């Protein structure tokens, strides 16, 4: 097959609009609910709570702001309300997923906490429960765990939850990438004491931006809502007893998200088809696709694979640059990403583990034994173009081009 670049770029994951989004946005416009109050927000909160199996949802400007409020809520519950100039986790260690987007755990730092990173397990590419257990023996004072579900493929979150319970720790679940996925019959977003989902532009459904905080506790939801709208007290003037934020969701953005929800299942089906076509296309290559745990129903947000180490050519990654040496029959993520780029298709390395990031390099990192699993998956792994609008023909071209890298 001759391989020519696509005339229209193929994205990793891009927004897919249907029409209802515009109807709800227009409703906001026509009724002049062009602020952070309105029917669309109420509807999104109801939908987010239904789809995640949590009683309460609070619509916010982003998932990062939702995570910030989760961390603050957890910090105050564990350690009491801090002085105005202090974070809710000042000087406290917090166990965090290591191989994830920085937004999962930056909010721990916003609140003065100290992320300690827990290594990844090969079986799910999520936090290793065994490494978490080990971490509690090394740092018995820790009372908070932040766990992210990677690329929409659930990890062993039931075991993580059990370990937290046994050690009297609270669990924050970052289901930003996993909305609509389930594990052992329960939706992602239902597992944490506090959980979040994201409506960022490249997620499975989107409002262009936006996020939701999820809890079964009405007091959490009320507090998050109050903090997100500048923490005003019920007084005839602007009365403040604590620090607030401008984190509330816009009713226009909520219109987009409201129009997306009826299509969540359909997006998952499309992403699943993308994953399965890759899996079939690469069946003779020495690669392993994102692992799926027994009992997990992923939302298949991003498809990716790791290359068998025997088929890895030499690849050298510095902090900002990379080189590799092509060898016959061998390849590396860098060669695959360059090949995709030449095709006008977007790939991405696996999330670079947080313990390898200059921001967090001097923080604790707990792995099992000698092997650094996260570093290894990062070294050998790649995310493939996973857009749900990619056609089968386009995907076949991508599959051929990737296969060529192994020649």
Contact footprint for ligand PLP (CB under 6 A): 62-64, 100-101, 103-104, 148, 174, 176-177, 198, 200, 211
> Closest CB to ligand PLP among 57 and 103?
103
* Torsion-angle region of 189 (φ positive above 0: left; ψ -120 to 50: alpha; else: beta): left
- Residue 147, CB half-sphere, CA atoms under 13 Å: how many? 37
> Closest CB to ligand PLP among 87 and 210?
210
Q: How far is the CB of 174 from ligand PLP (least distance, A)?
A: 5
> Closest CB to ligand PLP among 200 and 270?
200
**Maximum Cα interatomic distance, the chain, rounded to a whole number of Å:** 75
> Closest CB to ligand PLP among 43 and 197?
197
Q: How far is the CB of 209 from ligand PLP (least distance, A)?
A: 6
Q: How far is the CB of 228 from ligand PLP (least distance, A)?
A: 14
Q: How far is the CB of 253 from ligand PLP (least distance, A)?
A: 11
> Closest CB to ligand PLP among 101 and 125?
101
Q: How far is the CB of 176 from ligand PLP (least distance, A)?
A: 3
Q: Which residue is nearest to ligand PLP (CB)?
A: 63
DSSP 167: T
For residue 392, give Cα distances in angstroms to 5, 294, 389, 395: 16, 28, 9, 5
With tokens 């390099």, the residue in question is: 361
How many CB atoms within 10 Å of residue 187? 23
> Closest CB to ligand PLP among 178 and 402?
178
Q: How far is the CB of 81 from ligand PLP (least distance, A)?
A: 25
> Closest CB to ligand PLP among 198 and 331?
198
The DSSP string of 331-378 is B-HHHHHHHHHHTTB--EEPPPPGGGSTTTTTS-EE-SSS--HHHHHH
Q: How far is the CB of 79 from ligand PLP (least distance, A)?
A: 24
Q: How far is the CB of 150 from ligand PLP (least distance, A)?
A: 7
**Class of residue 288 by CB neighbours under 10 A (exposed 0-12, middle 13-18, buried 19+):** middle
Distance CA 99, CA 102 (A): 9
Q: Are the C-beta atoms of 353 and 127 separated by less than 8 Å?
A: no
Structure-token pair, residue 380: 């050998």
Q: At what angle do helices 157-166 and 129-138 cross, to 10 degrees?
A: 20
> Closest CB to ligand PLP among 49 and 339?
49
With tokens 């390849």, the residue in question is: 331
**Class of residue 286 by CB neighbours under 10 A (exposed 0-12, middle 13-18, buried 19+):** middle
């Amino acid at each position: 097959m001759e391989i020519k670049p696509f005339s229209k770029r193929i994205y990793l994951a891009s927004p897919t609009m249907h029409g209802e989004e515009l109807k709800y946005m227009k409703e906001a416009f026509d009724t002049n609910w062009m602020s952070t109050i309105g029917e669309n927000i109420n509807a999104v909160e109801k939908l987010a709570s239904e789809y995640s199996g949590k009683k309460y949802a609070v619509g916010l400007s982003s998932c990062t702001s939702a995570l910030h409020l989760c961390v603050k809520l957890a910090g105050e519950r564990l350690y009491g309300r801090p002085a105005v100039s202090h974070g809710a986790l000042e000087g406290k260690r917090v166990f965090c997923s290591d191989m994830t987007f920085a937004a999962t755990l930056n909010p721990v730092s916003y609140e003065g906490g100290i992320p300690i990173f827990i290594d990844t397990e090969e079986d799910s590419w999520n936090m290793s429960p065994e490494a978490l257990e080990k971490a509690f023996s090394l740092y018995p004072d820790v009372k908070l765990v932040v766990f992210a579900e990677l690329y929409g493929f659930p990890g062993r979150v039931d075991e993580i939850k059990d370990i937290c319970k046994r050690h009297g720790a609270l669990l924050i679940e970052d289901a930003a990438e996993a909305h609509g996925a389930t594990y052992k019959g329960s939706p992602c977003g239902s597992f944490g004491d506090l959980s979040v989902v994201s409506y960022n532009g490249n997620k499975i459904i989107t409002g262009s931006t936006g996020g939701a905080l999820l809890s079964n506790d009405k007091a959490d939801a009320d507090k998050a809502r109050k903090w997100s709208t500048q923490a005003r007290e019920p007084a005839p003037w602007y009365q403040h007893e604590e620090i607030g934020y401008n984190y509330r969701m816009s009713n226009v953005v909520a219109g987009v998200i409201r129009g997306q929800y009826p299509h969540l299942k359909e997006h998952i089906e499309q992403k699943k088809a993308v994953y399965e076509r890759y899996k079939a296309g690469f069946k003779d290559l020495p690669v392993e696709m994102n692992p799926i745990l027994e009992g997990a129903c992923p939302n298949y947000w991003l498809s990716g694979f790791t290359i068998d180490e025997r088929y890895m050519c030499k690849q050298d990654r510095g902090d900002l640059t990379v080189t590799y040496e092509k060898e016959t029959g061998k390849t590396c993520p860098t060669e695959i990403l360059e090949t995709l780029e030449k095709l006008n298709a977007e790939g991405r390395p696996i999330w670079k583990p947080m313990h390898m990031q200059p921001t967090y390099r001097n923080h604790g990192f707990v792995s099992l034994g000698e092997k650094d699993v996260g570093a290894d998956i990062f070294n050998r792994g790649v995310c493939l173009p996973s857009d749900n609008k990619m056609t089968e023909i386009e995907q076949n071209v991508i599959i051929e081009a990737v296969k060529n890298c192994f020649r």
